[in-house]
Copies of this chain bind each other. A is one copy, B any other.
Amino acid sequence: MSYVLNNGPRPVAPETRARVEDAIAKLGYRPNAIASALRGGTTRSIGLLLPDPRNPYYAELAQAIEQQFSERGYLVLTGSTYYSRILEEQYRESFIARKVDGLIVSSGVSLAHEQALGLGEQPVLVLDDAPESVNVSSIAPQNHDDAAAAVEHLQRHGHRMIGCIGGLAYLSTESAHIAGWRNQQIAAGAPAGDELVSFADPSEAGGNAAAQLLLSDHGRPWALHGHRPSALFVSSDVQAVGAIFACYELGLRVPEDIAIVSMGGTKTAAFTIPPLTSMRQDIQFIARLAASHLLDRVVDASANTLRRRLRGNLVIGHSCGC
């Protein structure tokens, strides 16, 4: 009987309970969550859309979010979108069809264009700058200002020619990073031309390739300025790992020849050689906030959406020259 398993909404005599539990054990009964979900209207699951589990930033985010929801009795279904609009929509449809109770999207590509269009009735939380729109909550880093602060730190060390390694150009996070770099450079009267910017795959290999382009004596910075940048602002920790490796291959010392600052602040950043100076997002905090807010909206569909921007925190390593 349903009431015994769920400590049901109505009382059960201890003798009956024992009898039922007996039968459960004897028959090897397993509850069927599918049937329960169909009837009860809740799956106790939420969908999480992330670009790539191999990027340590998203790996940490996934683990933190999973932990938060798991503690609250929810299962997190994770879909990897690889920055592809098609995959993102496929997973979104799949999650909605599976009746997740809520949806969290990080670095989403398509949501910006058609928020309301195909969203289903579930509450949605975006972990980026989200377009103004009803029924979509957002928790986002202050990408522009954080990037500017990171660049400013390099400027304080005396650097003027600071190269910039970005991720995929069409992501709002990336354009905000680049804008932060550019505005901070302009504010300091330092060079901010496109020859100093290189977009690349958000991976070690991508960061490596981009750094090669910016630092080698065949690169465009050298061609236009007669020398290489003395510092790099890198849009993610993974790419920074690749950038440090590029310096190693080119025989450039970090930070003596090239200073590096990156965005992310993952655990990975603490174990590079030298340790990275990195703009840290408090992922645990984001995850806690995300879980408690989204579940509030799950429970009470009329609850207000949330719009929150979080400032990062520059963790000082040795890669900046400090």
Binding site for B on A (CB under 8 A): 30-35, 37-38, 43, 52-54, 56, 59-60, 62-63, 66-67, 75, 77-80, 94, 96-99, 120, 203-205, 208, 241-242, 244-245, 248, 267-268, 270-271, 273-274
Residues of B within 8 A of A66 (CB): 53, 80
Q: A271 contacts which of B78, B80, B204 (Cβ < 8 Å)?
A: B204
Given A245-B271, A248-B273, A75–B98 Cβ distance below 8 Å? yes
Q: Nearest Cβ in chain B — how far from A251, in angstroms?
A: 12
The answer to whether A245 touches B273 (Cβ under 8 A) is yes
Residues of B within 8 A of A94 (CB): 33, 75
Q: Nearest Cβ in chain B — how far from A206, in angstroms?
A: 11
Residues of B within 8 A of A63 (CB): 52-54, 80
Question: Roughly how many angstroms separate A166 CA and B63 CA in the complex, as a whole number?
Answer: 23
Given A54-B63, A60-B54, A204–B270 Cβ distance below 8 Å? yes
Number of chain copies forming the complex: 2
A-B contact pairs, 17 of them (CB 8 A): A30-B97, A32-B99, A33-B97, A34-B37, A34-B38, A34-B98, A53-B62, A54-B56, A54-B60, A54-B63, A66-B80, A205-B267, A241-B271, A242-B271, A248-B273, A248-B274, A273-B273
Q: A78 contacts which of B33, B52, B78, B205 (Cβ < 8 Å)?
A: B78
Residues of B within 8 A of A43 (CB): 34
Q: Nearest Cβ in chain B — how far from A310, in angstroms?
A: 21
Residues of B within 8 A of A98 (CB): 33-34, 75
Question: Roughly how many angstroms separate A34 CA and B36 CA in the complex, as a whole number?
Answer: 10
Residues of B within 8 A of A273 (CB): 244-245, 248, 273
Residues of B within 8 A of A34 (CB): 34, 37-38, 43, 98-99
Q: A97 contacts which of B32, B59, B99 (Cβ < 8 Å)?
A: B32
Residues of B within 8 A of A267 (CB): 54, 203-205
Residues of B within 8 A of A97 (CB): 30-33
Q: Nearest Cβ in chain B — how far from A48, in angstroms?
A: 10
Q: Which 4 A-B pairs have the closest CB atoms?
A: A33-B97, A204-B271, A33-B98, A245-B271
